[in-house]
Amino acid sequence: KQEVTQIPAALSVPEGENLVLNCSFTDSAIYNLQWFRQDPGKGLTSLLLIQSSQREQTSGRLNASLDKSSGRSTLYIAASQPGDSATYLCAVSQDNFNKFYFGSGTKLNVKP
């Protein structure tokens, strides 16, 4: 069964810092990987979707990379802002039916 792990569980940084969130998965036979943001008590906001054939995706200050063979993905956030404070979830799907397996998340706090 696919297992997804995210490190660190929590991260606190001052505003303006660049940071990296890590995600690893045990079964490299994935269809795609997606990074989400979850604000307290809220649903999920999709940030970046990487297909299994891709190496990275970028959106604004966010860059996500995928190394399928090693079972790893990173989410890079440049010039962090207090508004980036949230829990970041990594999820992988193993078929095109998009059934996701989620990591436990990294809770990010960006201090003004």
Partner 1 sequence: GAVVSQHPSRVICKSGTSVKIECRSLDFQATTMFWYRQFPKQSLMLMATSNEGSKATYEQGVEKDKFLINHASLTLSTLTVTSAHPEDSSFYICSGQGYNEQFFGPGTRLTVL
**Minimum Å distance from CB 110 to partner 1?**
20
Q: What is the largest CA-CA distance in the chain?
A: 41
Site string for partner 1, 21-50 (x = CB under 8 A): -------------x-x----xxxx-x--x-
Report yes or no: 79 and 16 within 8 Å, Cβ to Cβ: yes
Helices (H) and strands (E) in the chain, counts: 0, 11
- DSSP-assigned beta bridge partners for residue 63: 58, 76
Q: Of 53, 69, 83, 96, which lies in the binding site for partner 1, with binding defined by CB under 8 A?
A: 96
Binding site for partner 1 (CB under 8 A): 34, 36, 41-44, 46, 49, 89, 91, 93, 96-105
